[in-house]
Structure 1
Amino acid sequence: MIPQAVDYKRAGSVSEAISLLAENPDAKILAGGHSLIPAMKLRLNSPSLLIDIARIPELRYIEVRDGGVAIGAASTHHDIISNADIQSRYGAMIEAGELIGDTQVRNVGTLGGSIAHADPSADWPAALIALNASIKVEGPNGAREIPATEFFLGFFYTALEEGEIVTEVVLPAPAAGSRSVYRKFMQPASRFAIVGCAASVTIDGGTITDATVAFTGVSADGAFLDEAVGAALVGKAASLETIEAAANAAAEGAELNEDHYASKTYRKHLAKVYAKRALAGACGL
């Protein structure tokens, strides 16, 4: 299907993009376009104006800050997975990024666009939650920073307010002895997650001192932090037996997704399986 007619403007700065949004309330931000354009073709979204922010220099960078890494929202998936600073610190980001779409999608699609779209089966949200990332946004009322755990609020629904755009993602410095991974059972055609699990684990002297587990694809409400699984690991030996016991509680109480790819029962089973795989990887087992 062909989209309805739409105007197009390329913003030269973040402030210009915010002004254009304020002047055109039904406009949409265009970065990589891999989520927005298909929605427009299906007439699920028919903005009067597309505001292109993909070439704003202040939105495309990756830099080390205080041992962590700041990523500009217009950085592509390829920018992220090919960056040495991210490769050396955040395994979950590399593994999640490498599993997104195909080469074309990874070369053009952006981190900011993906998380602002908040597809409940997208890969980045789980990785960002597990890594305790924060998301910086800017709008007509100024800038603010939102923890990833508070950014993803539901089905294609985020904490972004009217007129705001994502400008940056901040990954905190990883703790000594920590490791993160991402594991996914994917739909083979779209490569979206039927179940995806990101895990970050800190080990000291063979004991798990901190653990964060997040899922995507599991819940109809989108990515979420599984606090019960993480809590069940802390203070325990980093062993397969510990992981097995903790993973059995995966997705308890979640509003499970159900579609023609997987029933609720199957997704619950996969959540346990992929929690075990992610945690085993994060523990180096």
Structure 2
Amino acid sequence: MILPPFRYLRPHSVSHATDLLREVPGAAVLAGGQTLINALKLDLVSPTALVDVHALEELRGVERTADGVRIGAATTYAELAKDPVVREVVPSVAEMAAGLVDRQVRNRGTIGGNVSLNDPTNNFPPLLSALGASFEVITADGADTLTAEQFFRGALATAVTGGGLLTAVHVPALPTGTRLVHRHMQLARDSWALARVVVRAAVDGASLTEPRVYLGTVPGSPVRLTAVEAAIAGRPLAKETITAALAAFDTEPFETISDTHGSAQYRRAMAKVQLRRALVDVIEKEQA
């Protein structure tokens, strides 16, 4: 498919990039392009200009912090997958990055591009939401640090949509005794996911506490499944907890869509399957 016409702009610094984003109406950030180019081909977005920040060193690299890691927005999936600090402190991020599509995408795609466009099929938004990540952004109102709830604003919409720039993602380490599992279903190894679930929970004695359950690949993704969380909070590490969670899942009001890959009903059913599998992983691994 032929891409729509646009200007290509390559800033020499973060401040230059933010100036361009403010001065050029309809400009969008180009990081790795692995999500954005597909969105352009599908006419999901139509920027007048692309501001390429991929080579800005200010936006690259990983730093250990007091409670986790700070990841530059232009850090690639391949860099995340092999970074020793990420693998030690937030291994789920390294694991997610290592499993993304193919080597070419991993070498080019960036964590900032993945979350900033917030395509519902993207891998990182549900995971980072469950991890309690925060996002360093520069907008017309200045620099700020936002929670996941403040940053993600629905399909293809975030706090940096329309002239802002994500500079870094801060990911805290999981507290001791907390488990996190992410499960997804794809048509093929290199295809977009049809269903994605992330489950996080602490273990207090023999019970699950402080659960966070997020769903991807649906309109408004990432979607927090609060009814499921309420159903498993304080429950034992047992099959009855999974049964309660699946019953609560049926009451969750999120929407699904029908397309060539599956009906809305099928997609919802597969999301339920991924939830069950994730809960089994959480419970069995905690008991091991």
TM-score by length of 1: 0.91
Q: What SS does structure 2 have at the residue aligned with 1:154?
A: coil
Cα gap change, 1:220 to 1:6, in 2 (>3 Å): closer
Q: For the Cα contact (< 8 Å) 1:201–1:208, is it kept in 2?
A: yes
Cα gap change, 1:170 to 1:202, in 2 (>3 Å): same
Match of 1:228 in 2: 227
CA-CA distance at 1:119 after TM superposition: 0.6
Match of 2:37 in 1: 37
Alpha-carbon distance in structure 1 between the residues aligned to 2:178 and 2:43: 45
Structure-to-structure mapping, 1:1-285, within 5 angstroms:
1-41=1-41, 45-160=45-160, 162-188=162-188, 190-217=190-217, 219-250=218-249, 252-283=252-283, 284=285
- Could you tell me which amino acid in structure 2 is paired with residue 188 of structure 1? A
CA-CA distance at 1:256 after TM superposition: 2.0
Q: What SS does structure 1 have at the residue aligned with 2:55?
A: coil
User: What percent of counterpart residues are identical?
Assistant: 36
Which deviates the most, 114-123 or 261-270? 261-270
Cα gap change, 1:38 to 1:266, in 2 (>3 Å): closer
Q: For the Cα contact (< 8 Å) 2:184–2:274, is it kept in 1?
A: yes
CA-CA distance at 1:204 after TM superposition: 2.6
Cα-to-partner distance string for 1:199-232 (whole Å, 9 max, x where unaligned): 1121132221221111111x22222111221222
Alpha-carbon distance in structure 1 between the residues aligned to 2:279 and 2:95: 14
Cα gap change, 1:45 to 1:177, in 2 (>3 Å): closer
Cα gap change, 1:201 to 1:89, in 2 (>3 Å): farther
Cα gap change, 1:2 to 1:263, in 2 (>3 Å): closer
Q: For the Cα contact (< 8 Å) 1:201–1:279, is it kept in 2?
A: no
Alpha-carbon distance in structure 2 between the residues aligned to 1:233 and 1:27: 44
Q: For the Cα contact (< 8 Å) 1:248–1:272, is it kept in 2?
A: no
Cα-to-partner distance string for 1:9-49 (whole Å, 9 max, x where unaligned): 32222111000111211222111011222344456545443
Alpha-carbon distance in structure 1 between the residues aligned to 2:178 and 2:232: 14
Cα gap change, 1:276 to 1:92, in 2 (>3 Å): farther
Cα gap change, 1:196 to 1:45, in 2 (>3 Å): closer
Q: For the Cα contact (< 8 Å) 2:139–2:160, is it kept in 1?
A: no
- Could you tell me which amino acid in structure 1 is paired with residue 236 of structure 2? A
Alpha-carbon distance in structure 1 between the residues aligned to 2:227 and 2:86: 28
- Could you tell me which amino acid in structure 2 is paired with residue 195 of structure 1? A
Which deviates the most, 237-246 or 3-12? 3-12
Unaligned runs of 5+ in 1: none
Cα-to-partner distance string for 1:46-95 (whole Å, 9 max, x where unaligned): 54432111111111111121121111111111122222333234343234
CA-CA distance at 1:140 after TM superposition: 3.0
Alpha-carbon distance in structure 1 between the residues aligned to 2:266 and 2:4: 39
Q: What SS does structure 2 have at the residue aligned with 1:101?
A: coil
Alpha-carbon distance in structure 1 between the residues aligned to 2:12 and 2:192: 32
- Could you tell me which amino acid in structure 1 is paired with residue 277 of structure 2? R
Cα RMSD of the aligned pairs, angstroms, is 2.1
Alpha-carbon distance in structure 2 between the residues aligned to 1:253 and 1:48: 36
Cα gap change, 1:4 to 1:212, in 2 (>3 Å): closer
CA-CA distance at 1:161 after TM superposition: 5.0
TM-score by length of 2: 0.90
Aligned residue pairs total 284
CA-CA distance at 1:142 after TM superposition: 0.8
Unaligned runs of 5+ in 2: none
Which deviates the most, 103-112 or 73-82? 73-82
Alpha-carbon distance in structure 2 between the residues aligned to 1:179 and 1:230: 14
